[in-house]
Every structure is written in structure tokens, then in C-alpha cells.
Amino acid sequence: MPQFETRRPVKHTPDQMFDLIADVEKYPEFLPLCEGLTVRSTKERDGKVLLLADMTVGYKAIRETFTTQVLLNKAERVIEVKYIDGPFKYLDNRWRFEPLPDGGCSVHFFIDYEFKSRILGALMGSMFDRAFRMFSEAFEKRADTIYASA
């Protein structure tokens, strides 16, 4: 039952960070272990967007694809990821973006997961742990690149 949670202050606005993290199809360009991401469907309702997405992650010779449902709630500055199918027993992932009084925002990242297979968990578990710890930093670097002229 690996779990990781972090809060990270960044110089970018909550809306900028929300938009960056909501742009899931760009993840393979900069996110550790992410080799591919395909959005299968997009639905909008009541100001929220619901995506069904397949993400392929890999490390050395191991590749796994899993499906998630991603709820983008811009009004509340929250992104919730619900696990649908793949190599996990479960996966719970949430992002929250809170404005800071001096500008910028606090990016709150939480993930809790467990692989179905103990063997796969042993092979990829420590790499996933390291990757999740790098996620916030990878998103912040991406934001610095994208919003440098903003």
C-alpha cells in the first residue's frame, strides 16, 4: 500500500498549474516513466470535464498500461483520478491547487496505490515510489518552461 503526499509552493497561479496538469496528453513529453497517454473519451457537464484515459508506463523491459477516469473540476481547482483497469489492485490520486497570499500557489499531490501482482509490485514498486516523488518537481519544471514568458 505505497502512498505519497506532498505540498509544494510554486510561483505559478492555481489556474496555470491546474491547466498544466489537466493537459494529460502532454505527460509523455516530461513525466518520469510515462511512455504514452491516450484520452479515449471526454465528457463535459456542470462545468466539470470527465476524461477516460489510458496511460502506459515503463521501466527497462517492463511496460504496463492502465485506464483511469480523470475528473477535472476547475471551479474548485481539484483533479481526481479514479482507477478503472490495469495492473493495480487500486489507485487513488488527487491534485489540489490553493492560492498563496504572496502569489503563486500550493500544489497538493496525493497518490495511494497497490499492484495486483506481488511480483510486479516488487519489480516496479520502488521505481514507482521514486517517480511519484519526482512528479511534483517534473510538473513545476514544465510550468517554469511553459509560463516563463507569462
pLDDT at 127 > cutoff 90 = no
C-alpha cell belonging to residue 66:
492502465
Cα 97 from Cα 146, distance rounded (Å):
18
pLDDT at 29 > cutoff 70 = yes
The ranges assigned to domains in the chain are 3-145
What's the pLDDT score for residue 137?
Answer: 84
pLDDT at 4 > cutoff 90 = no
Average pLDDT of the segment spanning 97-125: 87
C-alpha cell belonging to residue 141:
519544471
Domain 3-145 has CATH 3.30.530.20: yes
What's the pLDDT score for residue 149?
Answer: 61
Residue 42 one-letter amino acid: T
pLDDT at 3 > cutoff 80 = yes
What's the pLDDT score for residue 51?
Answer: 98
Share of the chain above pLDDT 70, in %: 95
- Encode pLDDT of 36-79 as tens digits: 999 999 999 999 999 999 999 887 788 889 999 999 999 999 99
What's the pLDDT score for residue 76?
Answer: 97
Following CA atoms 111, 148, 16, 94 in sequence, which dihedral angle do they give, to the nearest 10 degrees?
A: 0
